[in-house]
Structure 1
Amino acid sequence: MNGTRRGLNRVLLGAFGLVLIALGALAVLAGTGPDFAKAWTRTGTGWWARIQDLLASAKIPGQDISWWTLAVMGLLLVAGVLLVCWIASQGGGRTKQLCTSDDDAGTTTVETAVAGQAIKAALADNKQVLSTAVQAWELKGGSGLRISLQARKGASPRELMAVLDELVGGLDVLLGEEIPVLIRIKAGTRSRFARTERVT
């Protein structure tokens, strides 16, 4: 429920993993097989000699560097810019506006904080809930709401879902439209160490 391009990320991670596996396999072969290590050394020495000859044959007049060096630096710069753009594109999609409606009187915008405060207030006295987080995300054709609950240890997910269904239904009535909602009930360290509520 965000702007992350998961398909592209999986492809890039898969390709990077395959490269690492191949390098690891070569390192194991070089460490365990003397013949392979000697062949690898000869091949590396030969390739390095070719690179040196290539750099020497394309030197910039009056300079000690070659055009190939400038080309590699340019490619590294472009790759760095692309990586920064890729990192910046991860996540995203959050919005502070939950919904917007237009009519003859003007435009009405409901912010995510309004829904968040209403949901948190409604769950404040619920002993099964330790904390609540509400966020809105941009979706095709509008916005969606994500509600994350930190449940107390031993809490009933069915009861929490029933309470949240009622809250979401009431929110739809107040907004005058149905909004896609993703509900996440989680438990963690805080749930394990929180004081247990006892019913007498």
Structure 2
Amino acid sequence: MNGVRRNVNRVLLGLAGLVLTVIGGAVLAAGLGANVPSWWPWDGTDDVLLSEADRDRWRDSGWWWPTVIAVLAVVLVLALWWLLAQLRSARLSEVLVDSGDGEGALLRGRALEGVLSDEAGTLDGVSRAQAVLTGRRNAPRARVRLLMEPHAAPDQALRGLADQALAHARDSAGLDELPAEVRLKAVKHRAERVS
């Protein structure tokens, strides 16, 4: 569900950016004297976005322009926050470890990822492994990518990953469970000429 929401956010952000780019480009084109459609409200180099009459209409109301500027500033800050939220990695930075004293301790997520990757990389038939932790710090999830050698048996590699690498990571962090999504990919060897 989180991935769907992230994709919807990215699509909406892309559409908003596209609409603003098209409108800004059309205003710029009209300002530079390019041909614009007849229905476009600004069609000449002497046209302005706000006429003097529009600017003076609210001059007697001292609240108008500060309110407009404040609303635009809030919209800008929210748009930047939304953009940064889309760019932020879903990678877990720390894991809450049950230390047995009721306090708990924090373990760097990258450290647990490194140990999990190293141990998964030593499994029979695995050429290389990469692990990434996602989720919440008290309920992490693992995404593991295994690069498999041509002679490897995928079922044995998955069993070894579950029984060894994931079990050790789960036990060392004191977690009740460590769900994992595993992706397997075959190593592509280049053909070599034999003389």
TM-score of the aligned structures, taking structure 1 as reference length: 0.55
**Contact 1:132–1:147 under 8 Å retained in 2:** yes
Q: Say whether residues 1:143 and 2:137 are aligned partners.
A: no
Please name the residue that 1:180 is paired with: 179
Equivalent pair of 2:125/2:152 in contact (CA under 8 Å)? no
Long gaps (5+) in structure 1: 26-33
Matching residue within 164, 168, 192 for 1:170:
164
Specify which of 66, 76, 82 is matched with residue 80 of structure 1: 76
* Distance across 2 between alignment mates of 1:172 and 1:53: 70
Q: Residues of 2 paired with 1:134 and 1:81: CA distance?
A: 34
Shift of 1:178: 3.5
1:125-164 to 2 correspondence within 5 Å?
129=127, 131-139=128-136, 142-149=139-146, 151=147, 155-156=149-150, 159-160=153-154, 162-164=156-158
SS, match of residue 178 in structure 2: coil
TM-score by length of 2: 0.57
Matches within 5 A, 1:38-49: 39-40=38-39, 43-44=41-42, 48=48
Gaps of 5+ in 2: 27-34
Contact 2:142 2:181 in 1 (8 A): yes
Q: Which residue of 1 aligns with 2:115?
A: 117
Q: 1:128 to 1:181 in 2, by over 3 A?
A: closer
Q: Is the 8 A contact 2:117 2:130 kept in 1?
A: no
Distance in 2 between residues matched to 1:67 and 1:116, nearest whole Å: 57
Give the Å deviation of 1:161.
5.9
Aligned length: 175
> CA separation in 2, counterparts of 1:172 and 1:125?
12
One-letter code of the match for 2:94? Answer: K
RMSD of aligned residue pairs (Cα, Å): 4.9
Separation in structure 1 between the aligned mates of residue 7 and residue 15 of structure 2, nearest angstrom: 12
- Cα deviations by residue, 1:71-113 (Å, 9 ceiling, x for unpaired): 443233112211232133233441322x64475x656668442
Residue 11 of structure 1 is matched in structure 2 by 12
The separation in 1 between residues aligned to 2:163 and 2:78, in whole angstroms, is 44
Counterpart CA distance in 2 for 1:8 and 1:58 is: 36
Correspondence for 2:29 = none
Identity, % of aligned positions: 20
SS in 1 for 2:177: coil
